[in-house]
Structure 1
Amino acid sequence: MAGPAATPRIVVVVASLGRPDELSTLLAHLENQSVKPSRVILSVTDRADAPAAVGANVEVVVGPKGSSPQRNLGIRLALAAGCDVMVFLDDDYVPTARALELFCKVLADRPDVVGVTGTVIADGIRGPGIPTELAEELVLRYEHEAPPLTTTCVDTTGLYGCNMAFRASAIGDCRFDENLPLYAWQEDIDFSRQMRSSGRLVRSLAATGVHRGVKRARAPGFQLGWAQVVNPAYLVRKGTMPFTFAVALVIRNVIANHLRALAPEPWVDRRGRVRGNWAGILEVLRGRIDPSAVLNRISR
């Protein structure tokens, strides 16, 4: 971090695919932050993925498709530019006006913390998604209730990728695992836990926002079902996911997919996830724990 009296240099990295409207909404909320980012990096696979017009502090970079390589490109550029705090936000995240300020305050007040994630007010990933207007209404309502600007935190296993901030000096050679393809799934746990040897990972009770959970451009059912089994097994073997955490994660998702496949939600391909679950289970039982092997299956 810079000195206690200095304004930290914040770089926000956003990996996105096919969501220029969501990026426009996010950029507007970043412009209204109480502590503004010095730079915003939009890491996309095509220039058309980003809004046509962006502010002077916004850089649009084009690279290979996939959450991990897109974020890694952002990391490389952010570290080269020099920053104190690196923030990763999903393109469909709507932060409260003091979210970045509170991320920085947590890191400034707690030298032993290397990464912090916020408490999500509402998460559309667990349902049909949250419209922009409702997400912004929820954020405004939260702000009008004048919540205490506490930096109270709780330790956590890993950080939630839709909103997480890191002490840039702790990142070093840590990168998102590019063997977790496309949507990646659990890459946030993997990345954040790589830094646990340098300090604590915490969840802030005050740095908040709404994760809209937009369904457009998300992973197909089979691919996600595969990842729900193979990715945790891979990360356990890698040493970045606790075994008990992984087992509970796999069991919870597999059971949910099978139960809900009988009457699936319109916005979820449960049957595709079930097929992916079983393909992943067979892959693990055969001793082949390679998340990227799903690319051969979905390209057929």
Structure 2
Amino acid sequence: MASRCRIVVGIPTRGRAPILRETLTELARQTRLADEIIICGAEAIDSEGIAEAFPAVTVLTSAPGASTQRNAIIKAAAEADILIFFDDDFLADSAYLAAIESHMTSNPRLMVATGLVLADGIGGPGLSPAEGRAILAAAGTVTDGTKPTFSGYGCNMAVRMAPMREHAIRFDDRLPLYSWQEDVDLSRRLAVFGDVAKLEAARGVHLGVKRGRGSGVKLGYSQVANPLYLVSKRAGYPMFRALEHIARNMAKNLARAGWPEPYVDRRGRLRGNLLALRDLAAGRMTPERVLEL
């Protein structure tokens, strides 16, 4: 039987306190409760009402940006064996933490584990908490399979803390704001020490809530700048993946620019893509340039 370890759940958040409360409510229903839950916003309004409704939750603030806020959580989780990052709109199945603990304690080579996303609202208008809970309730029999995967998915991603402490591995603070691809970068740096896997028993629903997300122009810039920057680090992010990623996103933005979805700023994203290519040609493209747009 796998031994018990210290599991901390970390949730970076920005501008979505009502949704965050729904996520914390689901975490209270875990069959294996977290030893600590840490949330990190950028200002007080990001965690409005959380301390009163969930007094055991640790509330932090840091400079804004997904990487920066995740790193603040890592610093605060100094005693954790496993740190599980959830987006503030990820509803975890009640057995999620138990599945992570079982696999990561029984397999010491497992560095990063990501769960099975039963539904992902990020590709559409988003899901309501009620819809997310209905999907979880109707999910049926749990299987316990695992399969290798290239990276964790930042909305639900467990990392083993020992190698992160030993090698001072953190999310890259040079990826500002939405920090596009920061989950892939961290996964590939940890993959040097072991395995990255998807666990079918760790299930959940990513609501994909649109409130609180940044500008389309900035995201579009990051869709080009961040993958190319990560390639330049030579830390496990391959060029073929960057080029495929950029081409896929630019093609989608271009194809939908004339008839955009009401919940996606396709024209803004395409403009950001083109600005990044212009800066690339001029030799001045960096992830941080989004802060000037």
Relative to the length of structure 2, the TM-score reads 0.95
Q: CA deviation at 1:51?
A: 4.1
Q: 1:153 aligns with which of 146, 152, 155?
A: 146
1:267 matched to 2:259? The reply is no
Alpha carbon RMSD of aligned pairs, Å? 1.2
Q: Is the 8 A contact 2:5 2:105 kept in 1?
A: no
Correspondence 1:36 to 2:33:
yes
How far did residue 5 of structure 1 move? 5.4
Q: Is the 8 A contact 2:4 2:101 kept in 1?
A: no
Q: Deviations over 1:168-213 (max 9, x none)?
A: 2122211111111111110111112111111111111221100000
Cα distance in 1 between the residues matched to 2:142 and 2:291: 45
**1:61 counterpart SS class:** strand
Which one is further off, 238-247 or 30-39? 238-247
C-alpha separation in 2, matches of 1:51 and 1:160: 27
> Is the aligned partner of 1:55 residue 2:54?
yes
Match of 1:88 in 2: 85
Residue of 249, 254, 260 corresponding to 1:258: 254
1:129-153, Cα deviation, whole Å (9 max, x unpaired):
01111001001111xx2323x1x21
Runs of 5+ consecutive residues of structure 2 not aligned to the other structure: none
Give 1:109 deviation, angstroms: 2.3
Deviation at 1:217, TM superposition (A): 1.0
Residues 222 and 274 in structure 1, CA contact (< 8 A), matched pair in contact too: yes
Give the Cα–Cα distance (whole angstroms) in 1 for the partners of residues 24 and 43 of structure 2.
18
CA distance in 2, matches of 1:113, 1:63: 30
Partner of 2:128: 131
Give runs of aligned pairs for residues 1-300 of structure 1, distance below 5 A.
Answer: 6-52=3-49, 53-79=52-78, 82-142=79-139, 145-148=140-143, 150=144, 152-172=145-165, 173-239=168-234, 240-297=236-293
CA displacement, residues 223-271 of structure 1 (integer Å, 9 cap, x when unaligned): 0110111111000111241111111100000000000001000011111
TM-score of the superposition, structure 1-length normalised?
A: 0.93
Does the 8 A contact of 1:233 with 1:289 survive in 2? no
- The CA distance in 1 between the partners of 2:202 and 2:281, in whole Å, is 41
Asked if structure 2 preserves the Cα contact closer than 8 Å seen for 1:24 and 1:51, the reply is no
Residue identity over aligned pairs, in percent, reads: 37
- Runs of at least 5 residues in structure 1 that lack an aligned partner in the other structure: none
8 Å CA contact 1:139–1:210 kept in 2: the answer is yes
User: C-alpha distance in 2, partners of 1:66/1:5?
Assistant: 36
Aligned in 2, Cα 1:197/1:290: closer, same or farther, shift over 3 Å? same
Structure 1 segments of 4+ aligned residues over 3 angstroms from their partners: none
User: What number of residue pairs does the alignment pair up?
Assistant: 288
